[in-house]
Amino acid sequence: MMKDPVCGMKVDEKTAKLKSEHEGKTFYFCSSACKSAFDKDPHKYGHPK
């Protein structure tokens, strides 16, 4: 299980339909709203610059 970087919800990376790649790392999301927020500013959600 991975943690959604926006809301902190646990997401099963094996079945997650929503994901983004950023600087070589894959992030998984529980909802399109969380994915959209992350995609706008990945560094705001815990991915270091």
Q: Are 34 and 7 in contact (CB under 8 A)?
A: yes
Task: Give the separation between CA 42 and CA 15, rounded to whole angstroms.
Answer: 22
Beta-carbon contacts of residue 14 (< 8 Å; ≥ 6 apart): none
Beta-carbon contacts of residue 4 (< 8 Å; ≥ 6 apart): 10, 11, 28, 29, 30, 34
Q: Is 90 exceeded by the pLDDT of residue 3?
A: yes
What per-residue confidence (pLDDT) applies to 48? 53
Mean pLDDT of the chain: 92
What per-residue confidence (pLDDT) applies to 28? 97
Q: Is 60 exceeded by the pLDDT of residue 47?
A: no
* Maximum distance among all Cα pairs of the chain, rounded to whole angstroms: 28
Q: pTM of this prediction?
A: 0.87
Task: Give the separation between CA 32 and CA 39, rounded to whole angstroms.
Answer: 10
pLDDT in tens, 13-28: 999 999 999 989 999 9
